[in-house]
Amino acid sequence: MPKPLPIAWIAWDTPERIAAHPAIKDGLGQDEPRLMFITFANGALKISATRRPRLYLAESARYARAIQTWIEGALVSEPDRHLNKVAETLRKRLQLEGRRNLGNGVFEAMQIENALAVLAGIRDIAEPPQPPVKEPAIPAFLRKENSEMQENSVGALPALVIASTPIRQDAEGRYCLNDLHKAAGEENKHRPKYWLENQQTQELIEQLRAEITEGGNPPSEKNQSLIEPIRTIKGGNDIQGTYVCKELVYAYAMWISPKFHLTVIRAFDALVSGRKPEVGAAGVHPEIARAARSTAWRIAEEMRHLYLAAMGPSAKPEDHERSWEAFSIQMERIEERLLAKGREMLRKNSPQAVANWMLSWRPEGWIRNFDWRLH
């Protein structure tokens, strides 16, 4: 039997260029797979063999959004009928080396060069192309800035996170009140609508507007950087909401409670200084917060994978889309329950012990009889 030729590479580039590459096209079931390595800004690496690289890249982008990161680059091979087995063997060897597999071929804190070194021991490989230059900001591929929503584009990956809730921003940098309401616990009495109807709030908004015009004059050098303090965007599931300037964020948080006001102040301080607070945004030790997120990610991904496996060859693109929507919902639910359990366990256990328990936890009853109780 002739020895397989070395694995050849077609491109190593940014996601938007890979998606538009003329030689990289989605195939059908009978086509040969390509080996794909996808690198994430949080340091993770995803390894797979796929016949539909463009769809796989789009799914990975949605996956990245769900965990609040983005894709930095993708390395794609030429088609080869042996690559399914190669990818499976590579993942197993990496795990034997002690690399942590977060599920579905995603390895934590993994450099692509390390994976290629192991791959070379499985099968001869050609020299890969040069990696893409890292973008200084979030790539346009993940910002959703397309022709349909350029005017009202909102950054897909917000920098501010309060109580485990990402706070969206609009193009002018205002913060979403609806997200702040969610971070505060979503109590009906704290709905932004009631706060905006408050006379003191209206007076504050008018004062901010007065500073922009300085009594009716055009913006001066002093106030030209000021923006309209409040804006409501209607239409578009990802961008709709009421957005307010930073001063109104503080005022809204103070109106809710002193505790939430302090949470918001510390979140902004941490954002400006580039440090993480000693206590996580969710009110637990940061190590426990990381463990809860990691476990929620792993279990939700397993559920998504089982869903698609049950669909089999009949799975359509819209089924993949629904699987990512369900992934985000399930991940959030699992994380919330783990954090609640973690706070309870901290009364009698160390943060490290709680985090270790979380990382090994699995729910009882799978898919059909899913039991959310934590044992």
Residue 51's pLDDT is 87
Query: Residue 356: which of 280, 281, 287, 276 has the closest Cα?
Result: 287
What is the chain's mean pLDDT, rounded? 78
8 pLDDT tier (thresholds 50, 70, 90): very high
Residue predicted with more confidence, 145 or 84: 84
- The predicted-structure confidence for 317-343, as pLDDT tens digits, reads as follows 667 666 766 776 777 778 888 888 888
**Any idea which of 3-12, 99-108, 329-338 has the lowest mean pLDDT?**
329-338
- The predicted-structure confidence for 268-300, as pLDDT tens digits, reads as follows 877 665 554 444 444 567 778 778 888 888 888
Of all residues in the chain, what percent are helix, strand and coil, respectively (each to 5)? 45, 15, 40
C-alpha distances in Å from residue 351, one per residue of 77, 285, 286:
43, 7, 9
Residue 124's pLDDT is 93
Residue 238's pLDDT is 56
Q: What DSSP character marks residue 111?
A: -
Residue 101's pLDDT is 85
Edge-to-edge order in the sheet of strand 45-50: 9-13, 71-77, 34-40, 45-50, 106-107
DSSP string, 351-374: HHHHHHHHHH---BS-GGG-B---
Residue 242's pLDDT is 92
Statement: the pTM of the whole predicted model exceeds 0.75: no
